[in-house]
Amino acid sequence: MKVLWSSSLQAPVMTWRLAVILFIAAFCGLTRSIEYHFIPKSMSWDSALSYCRSHFTDLASVSNSSQRNQLQKTAVGNPAGVRTGLAWIGLLDDLSKWSWSRFENGLEETPGPEFRNWEAGQPDNMLGSQMCVLMGAGGLWRDEDCRLKKGFMCFIDGNPRLKQNHQFFYIQQDMSWADAQSFCRDMGLSLARIRDSGENSVVKNTVQNQEVWIGLHRRRVWSDGTKANVEYWRSGQPDNMGGAQHCTAMNLSSSGQWSDENCRLELPFVCHGSQEHMMGLDVQVTSQRPLTDDQLRDLVSTEFRQVLINLGLPDNIEMFLKTTKLNETIESAEEGDEK
């Protein structure tokens, strides 16, 4: 490959020959292709996470059914011959991570310090499926199964800079949390977001101690921060037995199904790492101005990226260059030559 600049000035031509090793992270469409690695060592979930991040990328995660099947095949058919018991994967139930439902483009966010008004002992995720929040008697909150049908509170978001309050609308129709969210959004509203004790009192007084859904909810997340869009629970799971099962393991039998477990339990585990392809190349770069090693590397990287995109790879391809300068030559340039 040659990188050229045009100039009508006489200047010495500098040429570098570089040995380049190019690492390319593979993608399938916009989905990163993942390799799973079964680790037969027994560790707690936190220790397994540290091991995976040190040696690979992270604890295993899946974002579609194809990856779920690939994970199952890797774990169940592991070369260590472990065919029974459980193995950690990266799915985590974090009781501290809550989001408010928002109307704008379906966004969910939790900016800054947030008001909470939990009942004593709440949230507890009893039976492992309490991901949504009800306001109960006395204006206190608790987590509940989102499928439960209750009345709910919609609202229009006020502007705190203008000291505008939320406007709340009590809907006395029993729905699941998801159906209540859709109802509010269809009306151009959101499920209620409560910013302080004053607004909590407004909602409490409006519903007159009836139980209502508010917009606070959460989802299980993978250890790499992505939301869990694919799940594969064993019958009766998750159950959060004893109120202390917040990490997820997969069964190493043929089913490969998941269960929630105490994170301190020591189990083998599955890591994941993105596939990478490596190429060795001999590259020549020609310029009429001196270039530092960093400039050479950036220039070659930019040119390679464009070549790979022109060949049909996605523009979000990840690549890493390792370069070694083989030689550097300086030649005279004829006036008007293009370099």
Distance CA 335, CA 9 (A): 6
337 or 14: which carries more pLDDT confidence?
A: 14
The secondary structure of 86-103 as a DSSP string is EEEEEEE--TT--EEE-S
Whether 45 shows a pLDDT value over 70: the answer reads: yes
pLDDT of residue 313: 64
Mean pLDDT of 144-157: 93
Q: Residue 4's pLDDT is what? A: 31
- Which pLDDT score is estimated for 117? 96
Which of residues 171 and 295 earns the better pLDDT score?
Answer: 171
When pLDDT is averaged across residues 57-80 and rounded to a whole number, the result is 91
Q: Report whether pLDDT(29) > 80.
A: no
Tens-digit pLDDT profile for residues 170-191: 999 999 999 999 999 999 899 9
Mean pLDDT of the chain: 80
Encode pLDDT of 244-287 as tens digits: 999 999 999 878 999 999 999 999 999 998 645 555 566 677 77
The residue that leads in pLDDT, 242 or 59, is 59
Looking at the DSSP bridge assignments, the partners of residue 23 are: 278, 320
Closest of 325, 334, 126, 323 to residue 240, by C-alpha: 126
CB atoms near residue 7 (< 10 Å): 15
Distance CA 165, CA 158 (A): 5
DSSP annotation of 6 reads B
Summarize pLDDT for 202-225 with one digit per residue, the tens. 999 999 989 999 999 998 999 988
Walk me through the domains of the chain, giving residue ranges and CATH numbers: 13-29+275-331 (3.30.1280), 34-93+233-274 (3.10.100.10), 99-217 (no CATH)
Q: What is the mean pLDDT of residues 20-24?
A: 54
Highest mean pLDDT among 37-46, 63-72, 74-83: 37-46
Q: Nearest to residue 143, comparing CAs of 167, 115, 116? A: 116
CA contacts within 13 A on the Cβ side of 136 = 12
- Number of other residues whose CB lies within 10 A of the CB of residue 254: 10
For the cut 50, the answer to whether the pLDDT of residue 5 exceeds it is no
How large is the average pLDDT for residues 305-327?
63
